[in-house]
Structure 1
Amino acid sequence: MDINERIARRVRDLRSERGYSLDTLAERSGVSRSSISLIERAQTSPTANVLDKLATALDVTLASLFDEKAVAGASPSPLSRYADQPVWTDPDSGYVRRNLSPSQPSPLQFVEVRFPAGERVAYDTGARDNEIWQQIWVIAGTIEITLGATTWRLDTGDCLSMRLDQPIGFHNPASTTARYLVGLVTLPFVPARRSS
């Protein structure tokens, strides 16, 4: 299945599961109704920023938008073969992400990213119902990550942990492609207890 068809099916399924109309998802995400419609029909390749807005509005990780729903009657596999892992390229920056995790449901997801020299990507990530944590481990190269007002420079071997609840920017200041691993954990929403 083409990666844009996979994204289209996943966005449609998630929107339907939540009972959102196109207008509701557009309002929650800040992505236009017409753009969402094109994405759901696999008639456009959305940018990383647009996918992140949709993921935030649907209260899932961006990596979840590349998952494939299990075939009816089949159990999700605990194994993810390299040849079957979905690969997507951001049309704006050219960064390439490979979802490494199996289709078996898990609160933990892994993604490998190849980030071209000199490129930037910014996510307008905001508060979510679920708590999502991310760790980034640089396998090769250098990346700069800005979380809110704080910027970190990560070189080969460095690892950064952060909660996905504010805007994040990625920049490769080097003249070579950076490669890094992203680990994501989703913690379920727990309402605050009322004091009696």
Structure 2
Amino acid sequence: MKDNSSLNERIARHVRELRAAKGISLDALSTQCGVSRSMLSLIERAETSPTAVVLDKLAAGLGVPLASLFDAPPDAVEPVARRADQAIWQDPHSGYQRRNVTPSGVDTPTRIVEVVFPPQARVTYEAGARSPQVLQQIWMLEGQMDVTYGARMYRLGAGDCLAIPLDQPNSFHNPGDLAARYAVVLTTIGS
């Protein structure tokens, strides 16, 4: 796995650039996304490895897909993403790993992420509706996952695919004793 410090630098740069482009202060972003000003400041200085939940809130508040926070600098954009160069990030809370498969920085409404989710791990994303709207498809490759979308829970096994909009809180839980592996395809609609 690659060192998270370089990914934290990427995240910091993207957050600073997006906030500047939108002309909003740290206080305004904090209110908008529900993340404390002090945490946002640490993230913008790459002095912390934020959890998946914090990054999801931040991406929703900035109006961008979570996967875009891991993009390489624009001068490094290539139309192919070699596996060895794909950004891998590990959530410090749950231990799940996400690999951005889509070539970094390519202007596309669709992003592909590969996730390896540890046994018995759980992550809950509290963010609701997003602007622009995002459709998430979860394609199970190995293992099983319980995905809760609003009040409904779906148990997914290898080969299953669940398509849900990111318009309400959702959670992921691996009830098994083995790691689960799945692909997430995110499509931004009307951006």
1:83-109 residue CA offsets vs partner (Å, 9 max, x unmatched): 111110000000000000012110010
Matches within 5 A, 1:18-167: 18-71=22-75, 76-103=77-104, 104-167=106-169
Q: C-alpha displacement at 1:69, in angstroms?
A: 2.7
2: distance between equivalents of 1:36 and 1:108? 27
List alignment gaps of at least 5 residues for structure 2: none
1: distance between equivalents of 2:83 and 2:18? 25
1:100-129 residue CA offsets vs partner (Å, 9 max, x unmatched): 001211001000000000000000121122
2: distance between equivalents of 1:93 and 1:26? 23
Which aligned runs of 4 or more in structure 1 are off by greater than 3 angstroms?
none
Matching residue of 1:6: 10
Q: C-alpha displacement at 1:82, in angstroms?
A: 1.1
The structure 2 residue matched to 1:178, chosen from 173, 177, 180, is 180
1: distance between equivalents of 2:86 and 2:21? 24
RMSD: 1.1
1:125-182 residue CA offsets vs partner (Å, 9 max, x unmatched): 2112201001000000000000000000000110000000100000000000000000
2: distance between equivalents of 1:69 and 1:105? 13
Which is greater in Rg? 1
Contact 1:78 1:102 in 2 (8 A): yes
Q: Which residue identity is paired with 1:151? A: M
2: distance between equivalents of 1:125 and 1:135? 17
1: distance between equivalents of 2:90 and 2:121? 13
Q: Which residue identity is paired with 2:102? A: S
Q: C-alpha displacement at 1:14, in angstroms?
A: 1.1
2: distance between equivalents of 1:32 and 1:134? 27
Residue 2 of structure 1 aligns to a residue in which SS? helix
1: distance between equivalents of 2:83 and 2:17? 25
Residue 94 of structure 1 aligns to a residue in which SS? coil
Residue 74 of structure 2 aligns to a residue in which SS? coil
Q: Mean alpha-carbon deviation: is it higher for 125-134 or for 162-171?
A: 125-134
- TM-score normalised according to structure 2 size: 0.94
List alignment gaps of at least 5 residues for structure 1: 190-196
2: distance between equivalents of 1:156 and 1:125? 27
Q: Which residue identity is paired with 1:77? A: E
Q: Which residue identity is paired with 2:130? A: R
2: distance between equivalents of 1:129 and 1:47? 22
Q: Which residue identity is paired with 1:160? A: L
Q: C-alpha displacement at 1:55, in angstroms?
A: 0.5
